[in-house]
Amino acid sequence: SQTIHQWPATLVQPVGSPLSLECTVEGTSNPNLYWYRQAAGRGLQLLFYSVGIGQISSEVPQNLSASRPQDRQFILSSKKLLLSDSSFYLCAFSWGTDTQYFGPGTRLTVL
């Protein structure tokens, strides 16, 4: 069966510092991968999605970027964090269909 992991689970970073969040999927090959952001008490905002290695589509222009160096690895990065980047970051995957399954998420606080 497929499983999805995210780390770290929580992160506290100062403004202006870099960011790297990682997502990996097990038990499947060539999944579609997605990064979402969810502000406190709000809905799900799609940030990036990838249909294959090195293929990244951006949904919302901002100071974040994504990369997919391996088939089942998806990374969300920033060079300089803003206070407004504080949020709950969720990775998700789909495989062969449009059903998406979410990872446990990373709660990021920028101070």
Partner 1 sequence: GENVEQHPSTLSVQEGDSAVIKCTYSDSASNYFPWYKQELGKRPQLIIDIRSNVGEKKDQRIAVTLNKTAKHFSLHITETQPEDSAVYFCAASNGDSSYKLIFGSGTRLLVRP
Which residues are CB-contacts of 43 (< 8 A; sequence separation ≥ 6)? none
Q: Cα 110 to chain center, whole Å?
A: 16
Task: Tell whether residue 35 is a contact of partner 1 (CB under 8 A).
Answer: no
**44 near partner 1, judged by CB under 8 A:** yes
The verdict on 94 binding partner 1 (CB under 8 A) reads: yes
Q: Which of 21, 23, 24, 32 binds partner 1 (CB under 8 A)?
A: 32
Nearer to partner 1, 62 or 107 (CB): 107
In 8-44, the DSSP E strands lie at 10-13, 19-26, 32-38
Give dist(CA 93, CA 21) in Å, integer: 15
Nearest distance in Å: CB 78, partner 1:
22
- Residue that has been written with the tokens 């979410």 in this structure: 102
Q: Verify binding: residue 97, partner 1, rule CB under 8 A.
A: yes
Residues that bind partner 1 (CB under 8 A): 32, 34, 42-44, 46, 49, 51, 57, 90, 94, 97-105, 107
